[in-house]
Structure 1
Amino acid sequence: MRLNELRLSPDERTALRAVEPARVAAVTQEALDREDTSRLTPLARLRDAGRYVAGRLANLEDHLRKATTGRTGSLRDRAREEALSARQELLQAVERTRERADEEEREEQIFRVEQSPGMQEPDFPVRVRLSFMWKDSASSAWRSGRIAYIYSPSHAPAAGGRRGAGGLTRRGVEAAKAERFVTLSAIRSVEDYLREKGTGEGIPEQVRIRDETLDNFSTALLPRRGTRQVEEE
């Protein structure tokens, strides 16, 4: 996992801003009025604007298509109502994601967090290394630091065994899941610290996760606080 799974990439931000919200509203309304998915073509750039926006656009297309191909009037009416709801979800997604993009760009002017290369094959103990940079003020020079998270649960599967379709043993699969969770949670934890403290001086060089079961408090650097919710796919 890389940081671009947590933040919009520059290309995604560019795609998002290629279509103004007013244009999105007008195009989607016309598509609904004419019950024609081809009318959504001007919004094609939004397919590259991140999974959230792209997913809402695909959802609208799906419901609009059902509204035009339903076998009965009741099915078409229900699909049209769902398409109206899907349109509103798309408009909200565009608005929220544009706000997110603006916030991320402001934050990147004062702090940044990056993941260092991990192990070639996942294994326990899981080791997640991050590097980070921050500025004490907008005009000051960048300062930097590093932190390593180590997670070694006692219940980890034994080494060896048959490799599955993905080329990993059961231990490797579990380690990969844990590494993904720790990475995502750790990046957010460091970001939360830099966001609140405005400095990385208090971030330790190493954190050993004592929890047997990972949760959103496992990587927290701020006292009595978890990271923003980690969502697994």
Structure 2
Amino acid sequence: MTYINLPSNQQAAISDVDETALRTAVRKCLDEERMGPIHGLGLSDCGPYVGTKLHAFQQAIAEYGKAKAHAKRERTRQDALHAGNDLIHAVQQMKGRLETEHKEGELFFIDDQIRPPFHLSKRLSVQVSFRWRASPSSDWKHGHLTFVYEFSPQPSYTLPMPKRKPSAAEAARDLEDSLNREWERLKAQALFSMREFFRDGGDGDAVPEVFAVRPSAYGGGLNNFSCNFWQPERPVP
């Protein structure tokens, strides 16, 4: 699973979509009340965001095609038109994201293909590798930062109390599940923070090798600032 980088196959599919052809196909789908005109544009290969909008448009066209009464046909046509515009907008957004990634890729790249360790303990860590350079003509430099997080599971007060005390095996499974979920959150926050650092013009030479993640002051756990290694720790109000 990728977090901040579009997979190469999605990049190619998004790049290949012609916006003019897409607009024409959406109009034809509305006129013909079927999805045939949009097949062949490769939208299903453009990732889950475009895929969700494509599915919504498909459902809207199907509802429009089934409608008989005049009032229902008017309503379902408007729904299909709205869904078609959403699909076009989604493709435009992904093209914009692809352009941003290509532009940023001239100066930095963060590897988001990070596999979880075979065994997790409450001392969680994620190592993020990256490369950067001062200008597109400069040589690449490489580095990595290990984010270390002391995870302290918090009881959930929103769930009902269990009728019996869980067995040791059940407790171990619950802890393992919690550690896996928290490790995934740590990975995501680490990647987002690293990208923010470089987007804001951060110098890779200033990145430390290890950073102790700062849990939220409100009940522990991770928040959007926990992995911001370049910022001073926020004081508690």
Instruction: Specify if TM > 0.5.
Output: yes
Aligned to 1:191: 195
Cα contact 1:27–1:42 (8 A) shared by 2: no
For residues 23-56 of structure 1, the C-alpha deviation after alignment (integer angstroms, 9 at most, x for no partner) is: 000001010011112222133x111111111111
Could you tell me the TM-score, scaled by structure 2's length?
0.83
Cα contact 2:106–2:135 (8 A) shared by 1: no
What SS does the corresponding residue of 1:5 show, helix, strand or coil?
coil
Aligned to 1:149: 147
Partner amino acid, structure 2, of 1:124: K
Distance 1:54 1:126 in 2: 34
What SS does the corresponding residue of 2:211 show, helix, strand or coil?
strand
Cα contact 1:193–1:200 (8 A) shared by 2: no
Distance 2:185 2:153 in 1: 17
Distance 2:231 2:55 in 1: 41
CA shift in 2, pair 1:210/1:221, >3 Å: closer
Q: 1:66 aligns with which of 49, 63, 68?
A: 63
Aligned to 1:202: 206
Distance 1:190 1:160 in 2: 38
For residues 139-164 of structure 1, the C-alpha deviation after alignment (integer angstroms, 9 at most, x for no partner) is: 1111111111122233368995228x
Q: What displacement does 1:181 show?
A: 1.3
What SS does the corresponding residue of 1:197 show, helix, strand or coil?
coil
Q: Which runs of 5+ in 2 are unaligned?
A: 156-165
% identical equivalent positions: 23
Q: 1:218 aligns with which of 211, 218, 226?
A: 226
Q: 1:20 aligns with which of 18, 21, 25?
A: 18
Task: Map 1:1-233 onto structure 2 (within 5 A).
Answer: 2=1, 4-43=2-41, 45-70=42-67, 72-115=69-112, 116-155=114-153, 161-162=169-170, 169-211=173-215, 212-223=220-231
Give 4+ residue runs of structure 1 displaced > 6 Å after superposition.
Answer: none
Could you tell me the TM-score, scaled by structure 1's length?
0.84
Cα contact 1:28–1:87 (8 A) shared by 2: yes
Cα contact 1:118–1:129 (8 A) shared by 2: no
Cα contact 1:111–1:134 (8 A) shared by 2: yes
Distance 1:155 1:100 in 2: 36
Q: Which runs of 5+ in 1 are unaligned?
A: 227-233
Structure with max Cα Rg: 2
Q: What displacement does 1:108 show?
A: 1.3
Cα contact 2:214–2:227 (8 A) shared by 1: no
Partner amino acid, structure 1, of 2:188: L
CA shift in 2, pair 1:190/1:72, >3 Å: same
Cα contact 2:3–2:191 (8 A) shared by 1: no
Count of aligned positions: 219
